[in-house]
């Protein structure tokens, strides 16, 4: 285990320290350094303090654990590996990710899972424990987005305009989602046992990571949202 | 030197702010440090700060902060000012000479009061009189530029990185109950001293991260009311829009936010509160040309408070945190941690959701 003291190191220096070693690393005193672990594979990284934007961008097969909040654009275009956040995350998490997992204990900002995709055996998974901001799963093309709403602070589980432009993949929201307005191009329905069987292994892993009970999690109904191929996405921004 | 296309500079502007709800005055050192972890968001072509409550000894006078290109311009401008104002103090703004900040213009400040006789004969209120004077200097007097004109507040801006600009202007020697800060990454205009943020008019100041796409529509509308956009910079028009809506139209901060970051019609239609629905419909109908589109996150400073606001699509980041009577706002949480490592209740306001913090009633600011 290598310990990196990030106080007074810029993002280049932090990443050079990470690359120098093949062993697992702990970063102490992190404060806003960007691009941490970008493109890295084959190691476990633990971060104390708040990492900067684009944490784990292009992540290729490393595991990152953050013991606080994280900022914008985590897991941008990630390919494989896992990012575990014991806090909230900022906007545009998992932008165009095509593999790997982002598990968040707290809330997500706007545009989580924007343009998430999938390819053959690569199925990215994002799980948000609290609530997600507007434009969740915008242009989603593949993969699985799950929002649990375990602590929503009286907010809706998702903000406005979820699934705008969605044309692939699946979204699961815990609850009946009666108050949520979905676009006409998607279908929202109550999740069946088959749907839930598909995500059970991810939920179990999430519960192990954060100390929740999967049974309790599954005691509430889930809503599953998929694109409606009979009524494809056409536009969002012109007629506002 | 590497040219465009050969090098990528990852950045995108940075904003930060802090305010004491009790009106406690804090040195400008903390807000300067807030800009350090966000260094990469700027590119060294501009930065600045606004401090409120910094001139208690002159709190009844308008503090004009000015740039001049030469001594002759300054003399000429002083003649002009003396015809219109009583000047109670005129001095150079103290700076530290540091290698990071170069090519400074002549930086001066005046504490002034409008001549009562002129106010009476022109039948103008004091604020309008000051606004017209500032507009006149900035558009008609080449080489002279008023970059701050409020009471008991002042802005400090330059070309450079914000953390160096704070040192340059000796902000550690000022005490204010609220501060805003900006690190610049100019997108449409070259970086120059006057073009740095904050943009101010009277005691209103705006720092802005983003690039609004409605600039020309907004500018054309504002020009009908005598506001001249001299800098081709989108932040300037935001400052004037807020002045127009708040000072001239007497809208509340919340209502002004609903004009510039109006909810989508579909969101208005789905509102359960019918009074609220009616109000939003009214505001969008009355001020369609003042809807600001494109990315922005701004902190609007004024005497006695701050307002933070994101564009309705939330295309820029912004977080808010608290600690006791202090409220912190920044583009990144790390900037808040730099100001207060133990900040609590860190949250990200939604697009179009204003965060308004005012200094407690009864506190003299």
Question: For chain B, which residues make up each domain, given as ranges?
Answer: 14-212+295-358
- Condensed to tens digits (0 to 9), the pLDDT of residues A75-130 reads 999 999 999 999 999 999 999 999 999 999 999 999 999 999 999 999 999 999 99
Name the residue with higher pLDDT: B68 or A154. B68
In 3D space, the residue among B105, B301, B315 whose CA is nearest the CA of residue B204 turns out to be B301
Cβ <8 Å between A50 and B313:
no
Q: Is the pLDDT of residue A232 over 90?
A: no
Over range B188-217, report the average pLDDT.
Answer: 88
pLDDT for B188: 64
Taking the C-alpha atoms of residue A11 and residue A36, their distance in angstroms, rounded to an integer, is 7
Q: Is the pLDDT of residue B239 over 80?
A: yes
Confidence of residue A240 (pLDDT cuts 50, 70, 90): low
Tokens describing residue B264: 């989508």
Q: Is the pLDDT of residue A144 over 90?
A: yes
Percent of chain A at pLDDT > 90 equals: 91
Name the active-site residue from B12, B13, B64, B81. Answer: B13
pLDDT for B2: 54
Q: Which residues contact B39 (CB under 8 A, 6 or more apart)?
A: A10, B161, B163, B183
Q: Share the mean pLDDT of chain A.
A: 95
Taking the C-alpha atoms of residue B329 and residue B311, their distance in angstroms, rounded to an integer, is 16
Would you tell me the crossing angle of helices B215-223 and B234-243 to the nearest 10 degrees?
40
Q: Which of B317, B340, B341 to mutate to test the interface with A (most CBs of A within 10 A)?
A: B317
Give me the residues paired with residue B301 across strands: B205, B306
Cβ <8 Å between A71 and B333:
yes
pLDDT for B235: 86
- Condensed to tens digits (0 to 9), the pLDDT of residues B178-187 reads 999 999 887 6
Over range B153-168, report the average pLDDT.
Answer: 97
- Give the closest-approach CA distance of B324 to chain A in angstroms: 20
Tokens describing residue B350: 């939604």
DSSP element (H, E) containing B188: none
Using CB atoms, which residue from A88, A134, A240 is nearest to B351?
Answer: A134
* For residue B198, cis peptide bond before it (omega within 30 degrees of 0): yes
Indicate the CATH number of B14-212+295-358 among 1.10.600.10, 3.40.50.300, 3.30.565.10, 3.60.20.10: 3.60.20.10
Cβ <8 Å between A88 and B346:
yes
Confidence of residue B1 (pLDDT cuts 50, 70, 90): very low
Cβ <8 Å between A11 and B40:
yes
In 3D space, the residue among B111, B203, B197, B109 whose CA is nearest the CA of residue B153 turns out to be B203
Q: How many CB pairs under 8 A join A and B?
A: 61
Using CB atoms, which residue from A31, A88, A110 is nearest to B338?
Answer: A31
Question: Is the CA virtual torsion B191, B196, B202, B208 positive or negative?
Answer: positive
Q: Are A144 and A98 in contact (CB under 8 A)?
A: no
- The verdict on B265 touching A (C-beta cutoff 8 Å) is yes
- The verdict on B352 touching A (C-beta cutoff 8 Å) is no
B316: nearest CA in chain A?
Answer: A91
B319: nearest CA in chain A?
Answer: A90
Over range B195-215, report the average pLDDT.
Answer: 92
Number of Cβ within a 10 Å radius of residue A216: 10
Tokens describing residue B128: 């309008």
Q: Is the pLDDT of residue B4 over 60?
A: no
Q: Are A216 and B241 in contact (CB under 8 A)?
A: no
pLDDT for A152: 85
Strand extents, DSSP E, B131-228: 144-148, 153-158, 175-176, 178-183, 199-201, 204-210
- Condensed to tens digits (0 to 9), the pLDDT of residues A39-80 reads 999 999 999 999 999 999 999 999 999 999 999 999 999 999
- Condensed to tens digits (0 to 9), the pLDDT of residues B84-100 reads 999 999 999 999 999 99
pLDDT for B360: 87
pLDDT for B6: 55
- Condensed to tens digits (0 to 9), the pLDDT of residues A163-195 reads 999 999 999 999 999 989 999 999 999 999 999
A34: nearest CA in chain B?
Answer: B40
Taking the C-alpha atoms of residue A219 and residue A213, their distance in angstroms, rounded to an integer, is 10
Cβ <8 Å between B37 and A31:
yes
Q: Share the mean pLDDT of chain B.
A: 93
pLDDT for B10: 47
Q: Are A69 and A49 in contact (CB under 8 A)?
A: no
Taking the C-alpha atoms of residue B279 and residue B267, their distance in angstroms, rounded to an integer, is 13
Taking the C-alpha atoms of residue B45 and residue B196, their distance in angstroms, rounded to an integer, is 8
Confidence of residue A234 (pLDDT cuts 50, 70, 90): low
pLDDT for A154: 86
Confidence of residue B70 (pLDDT cuts 50, 70, 90): very high
Radius of gyration of chain A (CA): 18
B332: nearest CA in chain A?
Answer: A71
Name the residue with higher pLDDT: B299 or B228. B299
Provide the b/e sequence for B19-58 (b: ≥16 CB within 10 Å): bbbebbbbebebbbbbbbbbbbbbbbbbbbbbbbbbbeeb
pLDDT for B190: 66
Tokens describing residue A28: 């102490």
Q: Which of A179-193, B80-94, B232-246, B315-329 has the lowest mean pLDDT?
A: B232-246
Strand extents, DSSP E, chain A: 2-5, 25-31, 41-50, 61-66, 81-85, 101-104, 125-128, 141-147, 168-174, 186-190, 222-227
pLDDT for B336: 97
Taking the C-alpha atoms of residue A22 and residue B205, their distance in angstroms, rounded to an integer, is 50
Residue numbers in A near B318 (CB within 8 A):
none
Q: Tell me how many degrees the CA angle B207-B211-B214 measures, rounded to the nearest 5.
A: 110
- Condensed to tens digits (0 to 9), the pLDDT of residues B129-149 reads 999 999 999 999 999 999 999
Q: Are B242 and B259 in contact (CB under 8 A)?
A: no
Residue numbers in A near B314 (CB within 8 A):
91, 109-110, 133-134
Percent of chain B at pLDDT > 70 equals: 94
ipTM of the shown complex: 0.91
**Is B77 designated active site?**
no
Q: Which of A155-164, A169-178, A231-240 has the lowest mean pLDDT?
A: A231-240
């Amino acid at each position: 285990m290598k310990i990196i003291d990030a106080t007074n190191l810029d993002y280049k220096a932090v990443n050079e320290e990470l690359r120098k070693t093949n062993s697992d690393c702990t970063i102490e005193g992190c404060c806003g350094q960007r691009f941490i672990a970008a493109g890295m594979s084959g190691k476990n990284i633990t971060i104390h303090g708040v990492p900067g934007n684009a944490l784990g961008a292009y992540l290729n097969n490393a595991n990152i654990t953050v013991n606080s909040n994280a900022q914008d654009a985590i897991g941008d275009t990630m390919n494989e590996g896992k990012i575990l956040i014991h806090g909230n995350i900022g906007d545009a998490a998992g932008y165009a990710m095509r593999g790997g997992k982002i598990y968040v204990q707290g809330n997500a900002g706007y545009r989580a899972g924007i343009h998430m995709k999938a390819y053959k055996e690569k199925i990215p998974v994002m799980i948000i424990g609290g609530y997600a901001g507007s434009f969740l799963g915008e242009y989603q093309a593949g993969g699985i987005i799950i929002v649990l709403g375990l602590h929503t602070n009286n907010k809706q589980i998702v903000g406005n305009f979820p699934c705008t432009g969605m044309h692939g993949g699946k979204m699961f929201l815990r609850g009946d989602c009666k108050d949520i307005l979905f676009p006409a191009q998607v279908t929202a329905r109550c999740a069946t046992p088959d749907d839930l069987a598909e995500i059970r292994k991810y939920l179990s892993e999430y519960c192990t990571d954060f100390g929740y009970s999967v049974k309790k999690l599954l005691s509430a109904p889930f809503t599953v949202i998929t694109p409606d191929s009979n009524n494809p996405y056409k536009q969002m921004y012109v007629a506002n | 030197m590497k040219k465009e296309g050969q090098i990528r500079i990852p950045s995108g502007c940075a904003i930060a702010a802090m305010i004491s709800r009790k009106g406690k005055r804090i040195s400008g050192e903390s807000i300067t440090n807030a800009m350090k972890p966000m260094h990469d968001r700027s590119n060294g072509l501009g930065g600045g700060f606004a401090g409120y409550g910094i001139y208690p000894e002159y709190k009844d006078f308008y503090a004009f902060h000015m740039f001049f290109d030469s001594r002759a311009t300054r003399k000429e401008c002083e003649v002009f000012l003396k015809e219109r104002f009583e000047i109670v103090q005129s001095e150079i703004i103290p700076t530290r000479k540091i290698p990071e900040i170069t090519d400074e213009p002549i930086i001066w400040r005046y504490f002034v009061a409008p001549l009562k006789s002129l106010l009476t004969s022109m039948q103008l209120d004091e604020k309008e009189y000051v606004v017209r004077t500032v507009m006149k200097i900035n558009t008609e007097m080449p080489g002279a530029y008023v970059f701050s004109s409020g009471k008991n507040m002042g802005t400090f801006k330059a070309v450079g990185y914000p953390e160096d600009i704070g040192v340059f202007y000796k902000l550690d020697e000022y005490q204010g109950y609220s501060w805003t800060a900006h690190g610049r990454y100019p997108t449409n205009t070259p970086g120059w001293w006057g073009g740095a943020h904050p943009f101010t008019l009277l005691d209103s100041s705006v720092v802005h991260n983003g690039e609004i796409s409605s600039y020309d529509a907004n500018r054309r509308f504002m020009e009908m009311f005598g506001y001249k956009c001299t800098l081709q910079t989108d932040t300037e028009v935001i400052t004037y829009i807020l002045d127009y809506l708040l000072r001239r139209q007497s809208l509340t901060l919340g209502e002004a936010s609903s004009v510039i970051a109006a909810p989508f019609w579909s969101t208005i239609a789905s509102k359960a509160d019918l009074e609220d629905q009616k109000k939003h419909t009214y505001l969008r109908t009355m001020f369609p040309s003042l809807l600001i589109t494109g990315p922005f996150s701004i902190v609007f400073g004024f005497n006695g408070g701050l307002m933070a606001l994101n564009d309705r699509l939330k295309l820029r980041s912004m977080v808010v945190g608290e600690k006791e009577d202090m409220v912190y706002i920044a583009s990144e949480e790390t900037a808040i941690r730099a100001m207060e490592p133990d900040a609590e209740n860190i949250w990200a306001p939604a697009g179009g959701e204003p965060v308004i913090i005012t200094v407690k009633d009864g506190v003299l600011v």
